[in-house]
Amino acid sequence: MKKTIAILGDKKGSFSEMIKVLTKQDLRLLFVSEDEETKIGISRQLKFQDATAEIEFLSCERDGCWEADMIVLVNPDTSLVAHVKKIKEVATQKIVLVPSEGKKIKDEPDLRELLPWSKVVEINFDSIEKKISFCSKDAQAKAEVERLFEGSGHVLK
């Protein structure tokens, strides 16, 4: 059975390194956005990504997270509290991935406090050096996320 990953946060159709890696795997990706322009932008980009993943679009964050095995907060800096209020109940015991491209991994992200019953894993992509760093207090969740990125061509730290 394919793992289902809900991807929340509007990036106006631009893909992070993490999303590029996920689209090339045998996964079910649920892009969650209320913005039709964002959905169109993502659809266009996927045509050029050689995506292997099964792709769906949803408008409701709660529904997307309910279906998902893992949740990705693409742009955690914007409206984090609003996202958390909508998903907190359905994110319980799920892995929540927080990409932080170009930023230093924090030891204590605020997200751990906002989602105390979720397994928060912060991921830092260094696209220049092709390295991925992981930070989580939950060793099992961290190991599961690392397995997702093993075949990505990046060095895992």
> According to the model, what pLDDT value does residue 91 have?
96
Q: Does domain 4-156 bear CATH number 3.40.50.720?
A: yes
What DSSP letter does each residue of 13-66 carry, written as one string?
Answer: TPPPHHHHHHHTSS-EEEEE-S-HHHHHHHHHHHHTTT--SEEEEES-HHHHHH
Q: Where are the domains of the chain?
A: 4-156
> According to the model, what pLDDT value does residue 120 have?
94
pLDDT-based confidence at residue 70 (cuts at 50, 70, 90):
very high
pLDDT tens digits, residue range 37-50?
Answer: 888 888 888 777 77
pLDDT tens digits, residue range 87-103?
Answer: 999 999 999 998 876 55
